[in-house]
Amino acid sequence: MLYDVRLELHYDYKASVHGDRHLVRVAPISIPNAQRVIASSLSFEPRPEQETTFADYFGNLVTTIAYAGRHDHLDVRLSARVQVEDLARPVDLSPTLGGLKQELATLWSVAPDSPQHFLSASPRIPLALEITDYARSSAAGDQSVYATAMDLCLRIHRDFSYDKDATKVDTGPVEAFALKRGVCQDFAHVMIAGLRGLGIPAGYVSGFLRTIPPKGKPRLEGADAMHAWVRVWCGQHSGWLEFDPTNAMLAGPDHITIGHGRDYSDISPIVGVLRTSGGHTAKQSVDVVRVE
């Protein structure tokens, strides 16, 4: 599947800012056998005085920008052409939870992709008893880790309401869990917290999702959104598999990956440090267009 992705982030500062610095993580990465970035360009307005790009610990592309002079707005523009492979639905070869724990005990690796990084609390995801209890009913019996993850994914979709106004970008999973509401980020955080509580390694995926307009309606420009879902380590043989609790499905050819992390904080689209007396307003628009 070949896509053209366009993202625009726009920030208006009420009072002008200066001496600010930002980390931007919006450019998709190439993933062997799954996703290939054919072209990608990232630009900023006003033009930053300093700009560098590097790969972070988890292999995500990060661009640092810094401004010395004053400015009252910041535009981030990404356009990328990405080839996403349509992978066959995985056959469940994952171990049981007990088997998984044994595999983990003998997995002597802390490479960035090692599941060892994805087992405990992370900056935005505490391990909460109530979420673990909720997840536990997906692990009843002796089913596979894959089956547990899929069951939890479907239950979150069933039990939670998608509600843009219920949570904010810094809402934690405990609060979202209590509300049973939120957006993709909240659903992903809750699912990750639940899986880790059970001892199943789980991480956060940031990306884009192609939305298919209702029959007979035209596709609306900029109506797509950034998206987030979950990846789960299903044992040595199956490796990482991706689940989308917002849409009750496995991530598939419509999911375009920006990058991976333990939670939102590892792969948030933009973080910045600035001094200002006023607040700011933000706008975002995303277009995912299938090329072929």
Partner 1 sequence: MDKRNQRQVRKRGAPSLVADYKLLPGVPDEMIDAAGQIRPSWAPLISALEELGHEELGGRFERADQYLRDAGVYYRKYDGAEGKERAWPLAHVPLILDESEWLTITHGLTQRAELLETIVADIYGTNTLVQRGLLPPELIARNDEFLRPMVGVRPASGHFLHFCAFELGRGPDGGWWVLGDRTQAPSGAGFAVENRVATTRALSDIYGEMHVHRLAGFFRGFRDALTGIATDGRVGILTPGQHNETYFEHAYIARYLGFTLLEGEDLVVDNGQVMVRTVSGLQPISVLWRRMDASFVDPLELRYDSHIGTPGLTEALRQGTISMVNALGTGILETRAFSAFMPNLCRALTGRELELPSIATWWCGGAAERQHVIDNFDTMMVGSAFATGLAIEDQRGTVVGGALPEAERQALRARLEAEGGRFVGQEQVQLSTAPVYVGGKLEPRPMTLRVYAARTRDGWTVMPGGFARVGSTQDSTAIAMQRGGQAADVWVVSKQPVERVTLLPTEGEKLVRMSSGSLPSRAADNLIWLGRYAERCEAMVRILRAYNARLAEISNTDQAILKDTRAYLDGIGVDAEVPLPPGLLAAIDSAVHSASQIRDRFSPDGWLALTDLRKTARSFSQRVLPGDDATRAMTVLLRKLAGFSGLVHENMYRFAGWRFLEIGRRLERGIQIAHSVAWCTRKGAPEGALDLLLEVGDSVMTHRRRYAVSAGVNSYVDLLVLDPLNPRSVRFQIAELYQQLEQLPGGLEDGHLSMAAKAALTLDTELRVTEPEDMTTSKINRLGIEIGNLAGLIADAYFV
Residue 201 vs 245, nearer CB to partner 1: 201
CB of 52 to partner 1, least distance (A): 7
Residue 60 vs 257, nearer CB to partner 1: 60
Residue 182 vs 197, nearer CB to partner 1: 197
CB of 49 to partner 1, least distance (A): 8
Query: What residue ranges bind partner 1 (CB under 8 A)?
Result: 19, 21-23, 50, 52, 54, 56-58, 64, 66, 68, 107-112, 114, 116-117, 119-120, 123, 265, 271-273
CB of 160 to partner 1, least distance (A): 27
Q: What whole-number distance in Å separates Cα of residue 21 and Cα of residue 173?
A: 28
Residue 122 vs 247, nearer CB to partner 1: 122
- Residue 14: Cβ within 10 Å count: 12
Q: What whole-number distance in Å separates Cα of residue 33 and Cα of residue 55?
A: 20
First to last CA, the chain: 7
What contacts 128, CB < 8 A, 6 or more positions away? Answer: 173, 174, 177, 193, 197
Q: What whole-number distance in Å separates Cα of residue 117 and Cα of residue 164?
A: 30
Q: For residues 123-144, b (16+ Cβ closer than 10 Å) or e, as one string?
A: ebbeebeebbebbeebbeeebb
CB of 158 to partner 1, least distance (A): 30
CB of 35 to partner 1, least distance (A): 23
Residue 79 vs 116, nearer CB to partner 1: 116
